[in-house]
Amino acid sequence: MTVDTTTDGQPVLRLSGDLDFQTATTLREQIDRLMTRPPTRLVLSFAGLRFIDSTGLAVLVHAWRLAHPLGTRIELSEVPAFLASVLDITGVGELVNRPAAAVDDDASTA
pLDDT at position 110 is 44
Average pLDDT, the chain: 85
86 — phi, psi (to 5°)? -60, -45
Mention every residue, 6+ apart, whose C-beta is less than 8 A from residue 92: 57, 60, 61, 86
Q: How far apart are CA 91 and CA 58, in angstroms?
A: 12
pLDDT at 97 over 80: no
Superfamily of chain region 2-109:
STAS domain (3.30.750.24)
Quote the pTM value: 0.81
Residue 5 forms beta bridges with which residues?
A: 11
| Model confidence pLDDT, tens digit, residues 62-75 | 999 999 999 999 99
Give the list of residues 6+ apart from residue 88 with CB closer than 8 angstroms, or none. Answer: none
The length of the chain is: 110
Residue 1, pLDDT score: 65
